[in-house]
Structure 1
Amino acid sequence: MNPSLYGISVWVLPAIIAITFHEAAHAYVAWRYGDDTALQLGRVSFNPLKHIDPVGTILLPGMLLLSGSPFLFGYAKPVPVNFRNLQPLRAGMIMVALAGPATNIALALAAALAFHLLPMIPPEGARWVASNLVNAFSFNILLAVFNMLPIPPLDGSRIAVGLFPGLLARPFARLEPYGMLILIGILILLPLAGSQFGLNLNLVSGLLRATTDSLQQLLLLLTGNA
């Protein structure tokens, strides 16, 4: 697969905005709940350079895209949060984790509402704007749903830690240092292993697809696009 310059251009802007707003939201809510770690590091910012990881956000997804990989994978710089500073602790942890996915849903809603403005765009630019809006809509929903999975180090796992009783929360929280390995195992290695035995072990992708499709239909209905 050789993506065209046009194809790349209509994905880069939506992806950068989605990731930047997601991480900035985490940083801002952490500051509002009493932890200024991210603030001191300049992460309460809409400057993409503060949040983009050169390898995880650009190099890795780019290599997978150019190589024709059947999946895309990447990550941004994690927002540093000292959870001990959050007041109250459990509510703060939940709200900080929710901030990123909630912001992505808000961006998806904004993109869906902006569909109604397309007739006002000059014809020579309408196709490019429409492609950006469609990609922003779908990418933000996927990013929100993916991050709500209760798998360390995703936001859903931190929400789970905030909701679980201490007896369950502590051992679950201790899995976070191994989160990237767990993600790679569940998303990549397990499906590959299953395919060798004729088994469909790509359960997470199926769940993501069903959830994102349902959420897309709901948001399109709410914004008058269905």
Structure 2
Amino acid sequence: MDFLNSFFQFNLDELPFVLLTLIIAFTVHEFAHAYFANKFGDPTAKLLGRVTLNPAVHLDVLGTLLILIAGFGWAKPVPVNRDNFSRPRLMGIIVSAAGPLSNLLLAFLSTLIYFAIVHLGMPGLDSNPRVFEAVRIFFNYMITLNVLLFLFNLIPLPPLDGYRILEDIAPTPLRRKLQQFEQWSIFIFLLILVLPPLRAVTITPLYELVNTIAHGFASFAMLIFQ
């Protein structure tokens, strides 16, 4: 299976597969945040109708378009009130990590499903090369995009999940210092994206790690279905 070198490099005829993958990935990601926040005693997301797998509730049009154009984007963030948690820091970490981990799980399950289809067969698939190619392209994006979203969201810059995890882990004095720099985070993020030297040591390695993880999943699946 061919894995992408970067998730926003694709042929225009593959755009439907990219959009479908993003819809699934963003929806599951935000649902995971909302589900665990509600489970831990914060009803904020539930009251706003966010504990659902309905994509219309979670998707942000501009954020979805930007991920196709610029290589990064977002869905509607799930509001979380940590004051409602009995153990705010621990539960905050779990809620923040739930989104990225849901993408990693999607990628892993997609790998298993793809190899199951290839090795166990699916009625009509072998006799129709066009259908087989569509299945291959879809799962290629489901694996690589979800792994990249997992890694991307762990970057410790606000408003990404990695920063929220770092906030909850950090001692109170450090946490206060981090909050003082939040207003500059968007500029730091743009510099990373725009300046090649910074991008080369931050974003580019993510693409390499995507392939490493994706091939690791593929190797595991091959052991199961060989």
Query: Common fold, TM-score beyond 0.5?
Result: yes
1:53 corresponds to which residue?
A: 60
Q: Does the 8 A contact of 2:191 with 2:198 survive in 1?
A: no
Q: Cα gap change, 1:82/1:141 in structure 2, threshold over 3 Å: closer, same or farther?
A: same
2:198 corresponds to which residue?
A: 201
Q: Does the 8 A contact of 1:101 with 1:143 survive in 2?
A: yes
Q: Does the 8 A contact of 2:158 with 2:164 survive in 1?
A: yes
**In the alignment, is residue 143 of structure 1 matched against residue 140 of structure 2?**
no
Q: CA deviation at 1:43?
A: 0.8
Q: Cα gap change, 1:57/1:47 in structure 2, threshold over 3 Å: closer, same or farther?
A: same
CA distance in 1, matches of 2:102, 2:63: 21
What CA deviation, in whole Å up to 9, does each residue of 1:22-51 have, x standing for no partner?
A: 011011111111111111101111111111
Q: How does 1:18-167 map to 2 (within 5 A)?
A: 18-58=25-65, 60-62=66-68, 64=69, 71-116=70-115, 117-118=117-118, 119-120=121-122, 122=125, 123=128, 124-167=130-173
2:213 corresponds to which residue?
A: 215
With CA pairs under 8 Å and 6+ residues apart, which has the higher RCO, 1 or 2? 2
Task: Give me the identity figure in percent.
Answer: 35
Q: Gapped runs of 5+ residues in structure 2? A: 1-8
Q: Gapped runs of 5+ residues in structure 1? A: 65-70, 192-199
Q: Does the 8 A contact of 2:144 with 2:211 survive in 1?
A: no
Question: CA-atom RMSD, angstroms?
Answer: 2.2
| Number of aligned residue pairs | 208
Q: CA deviation at 1:3?
A: 4.6
TM norm structure 1? 0.84
Q: 2:104 is paired with a residue of what secondary structure?
A: helix
